[in-house]
Amino acid sequence: MSSTDPTSPTQPTHADNSPDAAAPSGREDGGDDSREIADALAAVCDTMRQSCRKFMVAENVPRVIAVSKRQPVARVRAALEAGHRLFGENLVQEAEERWTPLKADCGDVELHLIGGLQTNKAARAVALFDCIQTLDRPKLARALRREMDKQNKALPLYIQVNTGAEPQKSGCLPADLPELLALSGALKLTVVGLMVIPPADEDPALHFALLKKLAERHGLTRLSMGMSGDYDVAAAMGATDVRVGTAIFGRRTS
Ligand SMILES: *Cc1c(COP(=O)(O)O)cnc(C)c1O
């Protein structure tokens, strides 16, 4: 059998998502947890692939941000052993405690902040995370600029949009987005996309559609939308990133 055989089953799935893509060699001993999490990751990707096919979405299947917040560290390690490298956390302090050692062990992890950020934690967030998805106001844009200058870092950012205009939720209102983007541009921040958490009691598809429209209007390419309950819908509507916790790891411990 030739290694160039075009029929050989080697078509790359999405490298970011593929459970075995980056599995460290000689470490097939992850045990049941690792197998179970690899299967759950594969199932998420498979569901999205079917959803994209059904709705004829030309774009690639979204990458999976495995949301590890409040999960037992053994499950997170199992995901790493299964080869997954892209993770999300919503709290700076909890993420520091968990990920400082894990990142030391596993250098190619990419960690996204997906929870609201207070300006007084901007320094620690810039130090730990590889991407911040929750830029939502001018004050935070300025704080991130200052910290990235100090730490000589240039993190990609997403702007979180509060499409449901929910007062308790972070995110900038759709009407305030042009101004925040203009400021971000003036500050030379690298805004790559938009992120949304739809209101719990509304059809998420409407919010995903609005987010996509806003991104297109402003020439932004990345769309972070979809969680365990609706990542298939998000995939069909053009998400580039889904943020999936319980569907991969099971119920959170606290
Ligand atoms: C917790 C969280 C998720 C993951 O939620 P699941 O329902 O467990 O998939 C996604 N996005 C954000 C912003 C979160 O805080």
The answer, yes or no, to whether any atom of ligand 1 lies below 6 A from the CB of 196, is no
Structure token pair of residue 179 = 């101004």
CA angle 248, 122, 111 (to 5 degrees): 25
The answer, yes or no, to whether any atom of ligand 1 lies below 6 A from the CB of 171, is no
For 161, residues 6+ apart whose C-beta sits below 8 A from its C-beta are: 136, 171, 172, 173, 174, 177, 194, 195, 196, 211, 214
**Does residue 15 have a pLDDT over 70?**
no
Closest ligand 1 atom to residue 197 Cα is: 13
| Window from 55-59, 96-100, 162-166 with minimum mean pLDDT | 55-59
Q: Which of 183, 208, 205, 182 is nearest to 194 (CA)?
A: 208
The answer, yes or no, to whether any atom of ligand 1 lies below 6 A from the CB of 170, is no
Q: How confident is the model at residue 254 (pLDDT cuts 50, 70, 90)?
A: confident
pLDDT, residue 31, reads 66
pLDDT, residue 253, reads 87
Q: Which of 48, 40, 29 is nearest to 84 (CA)?
A: 40
**Does residue 148 have a pLDDT over 90?**
yes
Share of the chain above pLDDT 70, in %: 87
Predicted TM-score of the model (pTM): 0.87
For 195, residues 6+ apart whose C-beta sits below 8 A from its C-beta are: 114, 133, 134, 158, 159, 160, 161, 171, 223, 224, 225
Q: What share of the chain is helix, strand, coil (3-state, %, to 5)?
A: 45, 15, 45
234 alpha carbon – ligand 1 mean position (Å): 13
Give per-residue pLDDT as tens, 31-86: 678 899 999 999 999 999 999 888 877 667 999 999 999 999 999 999 999 999 99
227 alpha carbon – ligand 1 mean position (Å): 6
135 in Cβ contact with 159 (< 8 Å): yes
pLDDT, residue 169, reads 93
Q: How far apart are CA 129 and CA 99, in angstroms?
A: 9
130 alpha carbon – ligand 1 mean position (Å): 18
What's the chain's average pLDDT?
89
| E-only strand ranges, 43-200 | 63-67, 86-89, 110-113, 131-135, 156-160, 190-195
Q: Which of 234, 212, 207 is nearest to 222 (CA)?
A: 212
Give per-residue pLDDT as tens, 186-214: 999 999 999 999 999 999 999 999 999 99
134 alpha carbon – ligand 1 mean position (Å): 13
pLDDT, residue 81, reads 94
113 alpha carbon – ligand 1 mean position (Å): 11
pLDDT, residue 8, reads 38
The CATH number of the structural domain formed by 23-249 is 3.20.20.10
**Does residue 147 have a pLDDT over 60?**
yes
**Does residue 228 have a pLDDT over 60?**
yes
